[in-house]
Chain A
Amino acid sequence: MLSVKDLNVSYGAIHAIHDVSLDVNDGEIVSLIGANGAGKTTILHTITGLKKAQSGSVTYNDNDLLKTEPSKIITLGMAHVPEGRHIFPGMTVEENLEMGAYIRKDDLSSSMKEVYERFPRLKERRRQLAGTLSGGEQQMLAVGRALMSKPSILLMDEPSMGLSPLLVKEIFSIIKEVHKQGITVLLVEQNAKMALSISDRAYVLETGHISMSGAADELLNDEQVKKAYLGL
Chain B
Amino acid sequence: MQLALFIQSVINGLNQGAIYALIALGYTMVYGIIRMINFAHGDFIMVGAYTLFYTIPLMISAGMPAWLAVIVAIAVCVIVGVTVEVVAYRPVRGQGSMTALITALAMSLFLENLAMVLFGANPKSVPAIFTLPTVNFLGATLQTKYLLTFGIGAVIMILLQLFVKKTKLGKAMRAVPQDKEASTLMGIHVNKIITTTFAIGSGLAAVAALMYCSTYPRCTTDMGSMMGLKAFIAAVLGGIGSIPGAMLGGLVVGLIEIFVKVYIAPGWYEAITYGLLIIVLLVKPSGILGKNVGEKV
Q: A residues engaging B (CB < 8 A)?
A: 48-50, 69-75, 79-80, 82, 86-91, 95, 98-100, 102-103, 145, 149
Is the pair A95, B171 in contact by a Cβ cutoff of 8 Å? yes
Chain A residue with minimal CB distance to B191?
A71
Within 149-172 of B, Cβ neighbours of A (below 8 Å) are at 168, 171-172
Is the pair A91, B174 in contact by a Cβ cutoff of 8 Å? yes
Cα A48 to Cα B186 in complex, Å, equals 11
Question: Separation in Å of the B179 CB from the closest CB of chain A?
Answer: 5
- Excluding A74-B185, A86-B179, A88-B179, 7 further A-B contacts by CB distance (< 8 Å) are A50-B185, A71-B184, A89-B178, A91-B174, A99-B175, A99-B183, A102-B188
Is the pair A88, B178 in contact by a Cβ cutoff of 8 Å? yes
Within 198-247 of B, Cβ neighbours of A (below 8 Å) are at none
B168 partner, pick from A72, A75, A98, beta carbons under 8 A: A98
Known: A82-B181, A86-B181. Is A99-B172 also a contact (CB below 8 A)?
yes
Question: Separation in Å of the B124 CB from the closest CB of chain A?
Answer: 44
Question: Separation in Å of the A54 CB from the closest CB of chain B?
Answer: 19
Is the pair A71, B179 in contact by a Cβ cutoff of 8 Å? no
A74 partner, pick from B178, B181, B186, B296, beta carbons under 8 A: B186
Is the pair A102, B172 in contact by a Cβ cutoff of 8 Å? yes
Cα A89 to Cα B293 in complex, Å, equals 10
Question: Separation in Å of the A157 CB from the closest CB of chain B?
Answer: 11
Is the pair A71, B181 in contact by a Cβ cutoff of 8 Å? no
Cα A50 to Cα B186 in complex, Å, equals 12
Is the pair B171, A71 in contact by a Cβ cutoff of 8 Å? no
Known: A87-B182, A89-B178. Is A69-B189 also a contact (CB below 8 A)?
yes
Cα A74 to Cα B175 in complex, Å, equals 16
Chain B residues within an 8 Å CB radius of A99: 171-172, 175, 183, 186, 188
Chain B residues within an 8 Å CB radius of A50: 181, 184-185
Is the pair B187, A102 in contact by a Cβ cutoff of 8 Å? yes
| 6 closest residue pairs by CB, A with B | A103-B187, A86-B182, A74-B187, A71-B189, A88-B178, A102-B186
Chain A residue with minimal CB distance to B293?
A90
Is the pair A98, B171 in contact by a Cβ cutoff of 8 Å? yes
Chain A residue with minimal CB distance to B165?
A95
Chain B residue with minimal CB distance to A98?
B171
| B75 contacts chain A at the CB level, 8 A cutoff | no
Chain B residues within an 8 Å CB radius of A91: 171, 174-175, 178
Known: A82-B182, A98-B168. Is A90-B174 also a contact (CB below 8 A)?
yes
Chain B residues within an 8 Å CB radius of A82: 181-182, 185
Question: Separation in Å of the A1 CB from the closest CB of chain B?
Answer: 21
Is the pair B184, A49 in contact by a Cβ cutoff of 8 Å? yes
| B190 contacts chain A at the CB level, 8 A cutoff | yes
Question: Separation in Å of the B161 CB from the closest CB of chain A?
Answer: 15
Cα A128 to Cα B187 in complex, Å, equals 24
Chain B residues within an 8 Å CB radius of A89: 178-179, 296
Question: Separation in Å of the A129 CB from the closest CB of chain B?
Answer: 11
Question: Separation in Å of the A87 CB from the closest CB of chain B?
Answer: 7
Is the pair A71, B178 in contact by a Cβ cutoff of 8 Å? no
Cα A91 to Cα B186 in complex, Å, equals 14
Chain B residues within an 8 Å CB radius of A95: 171
Question: Separation in Å of the A76 CB from the closest CB of chain B?
Answer: 10
Chain B residues within an 8 Å CB radius of A79: 185
Question: Separation in Å of the B19 CB from the closest CB of chain A?
Answer: 29
Cα A199 to Cα B291 in complex, Å, equals 44
Cα A74 to Cα B190 in complex, Å, equals 14
Question: Separation in Å of the B13 CB from the closest CB of chain A?
Answer: 32
Chain B residue with minimal CB distance to A155?
B185
Is the pair A88, B184 in contact by a Cβ cutoff of 8 Å? no
Cα A100 to Cα B168 in complex, Å, equals 11
Cα A179 to Cα B113 in complex, Å, equals 62
Chain A residues within an 8 Å CB radius of B293: 90
Question: Separation in Å of the A34 CB from the closest CB of chain B?
Answer: 22
Question: Separation in Å of the B95 CB from the closest CB of chain A?
Answer: 16
Cα A95 to Cα B185 in complex, Å, equals 15
Cα A90 to Cα B189 in complex, Å, equals 20
Is the pair A90, B185 in contact by a Cβ cutoff of 8 Å? no
Highest count of chain B CB atoms <10 Å: which of A75, A90, A103: A90
Chain B residues within an 8 Å CB radius of A49: 184
A48 partner, pick from B175, B185, B190, beta carbons under 8 A: B185
Cα A74 to Cα B184 in complex, Å, equals 9
Is the pair A71, B182 in contact by a Cβ cutoff of 8 Å? no
Question: Separation in Å of the B65 CB from the closest CB of chain A?
Answer: 38
Chain B residue with minimal CB distance to A78?
B185
